Each structure stands twice: as C-alpha cells, then as structure tokens.
Amino acid sequence: MPLSDCRLISLPKVQRPQGNLTALHGGAEIPFRIERVYWLYDVPAGVYRGAHSHRTVETVLIAAMGGFTVTLSYGEDRARFTLRRPDVGLYVPPLVWRELDDFTSGSVCLVLASERYDEAEYIRDFGEFMSQTRKPFVPSQPA
Ligand code: TYD
C-alpha cells in the first residue's frame, strides 16, 4: 500500500562549530537513484503547492529552510507530516497524492526525484487519481 511506504528518513548531519552539513547519496540515504533535484522557494504566504501524484516518480522532500506541511493521500487514507528540519526527508512513493501548504516565510522545499521531469507522468486530475487507487495495487518489481 503506497501510503504505508511513506516515511520520514533521518539524514546524516556533520556537526561543526562553524555549522552543520548534510550530504546525500542516491541508493544510500535516499532509496533510489537521484535523477533530478529541484526546489521551491519564494512561496507566497497562504498558497498550497502540489495537488498531484506521480505515476512512476519517487521523491524525497526536505525542508532545507523553514518549514511546511505535507498532506499525503491514497484513496480514503491520509497522512500529514510537518517538515521543519534540514536533516529529515520525507519519502513519497509513486501514486500517492501530495499537497503542500503552511509554508513559513523564506522556506525552501528541496525535492530529490528518481526521474527527469515529464508532464505525462503526472496525475493532476483528482478523479483520475481516485480511480487509480481503486485498481489493485501491484508493486513494481526490482529490475
Ligand atoms: P509542479 O510540479 O506542478 O509544481 P508543484 O507541484 O510544486 O506545485 O510544477 C510547476 C511548474 O514547473 C510546471 O509548469 C512544470 C514545471 N516544472 C519543470 O519544468 N520541471 C520540474 O522538474 C518540475 C518539478 C516542474
């Protein structure tokens, strides 16, 4: 079940008196090969982002700066996560619907993705998403 695969990942932190550093590797701390990195910033107060799911892309979301709330759903099931630490990632597998809101001022949402951007791979229509969740879920087999 995709929603139960969603999880917080504790990321390594190198602590120095001069400040902290977190380094990530695809296939290690991040459970997929990283093909794309993007970040959301200058997000105006009160807006929400997301409102889609992905057919195949896996992602990890990180509050690199500030914080925001992520609401995940699959069918009738929902899970809510508040991210506000740069050393914690939220793993979101394919098919899970995501909505991001409550961005704090100046926040940065860093996203690691398993594939390059392809609009055809998005499910943006909530009705289509709900009909997908009624099909039996078949996990993809490792290559
Ligand atoms: P979208 O994924 O809808 O953003 P969010 O879910 O955060 O609200 O993308 C917003 C726009 O940016 C859309 O026109 C597609 C474009 N975009 C890219 O060109 N490349 C990317 O890697 C991503 C994620 C989006």
- pLDDT classification of 143: cutoffs 50, 70, 90: low
The predicted-structure confidence for 83-111, as pLDDT tens digits, reads as follows: 999 999 999 999 999 999 999 999 999 99
- Residue 38 CA, closest ligand 1 atom number: 22
Whose structure tokens read 């997929």?
A: 32
What pLDDT, on a 0 to 100 scale, did the predictor assign at position 95?
95
Q: Give residue ranges with CB within 6 A of ligand 1.
A: 36, 38, 40, 49-50, 52, 117
Instruction: Name residues whose C-beta falls within 8 Å of residue 29's C-beta, 6 or more positions apart in sequence.
Output: 9, 11, 12, 89
Q: Which residues are catalytic?
A: 52
How far, in Å, are 16, 33, 65, 140 from residue 49 at the CA level? 34, 24, 16, 27
Report which protein residue has its CA nearest ligand 1's atom 3.
50
Please state the φ and ψ torsions of residue 115, each to the nearest 5 degrees. Answer: -140, 160
As a whole-number percent, the residues of the chain with pLDDT over 90 amount to 90
What pLDDT, on a 0 to 100 scale, did the predictor assign at position 135?
73
Instruction: Indicate whether 136 pLDDT > 90.
Output: no
Q: Report the length, in residues, of the chain.
A: 143
> Is residue 13 within 8 Å of 21, Cβ to Cβ?
yes
Mean pLDDT of the chain: 94
- pLDDT classification of 142: cutoffs 50, 70, 90: low
> Is residue 122 within 8 Å of 116, Cβ to Cβ?
no
Instruction: Indicate whether 132 pLDDT > 90.
Output: no
Buried b (16+ CB within 10 A) or exposed e, 108-131: bbbbbbbbeeeeeeebeeeeebee
- Residue 122 CA, closest ligand 1 atom number: 2
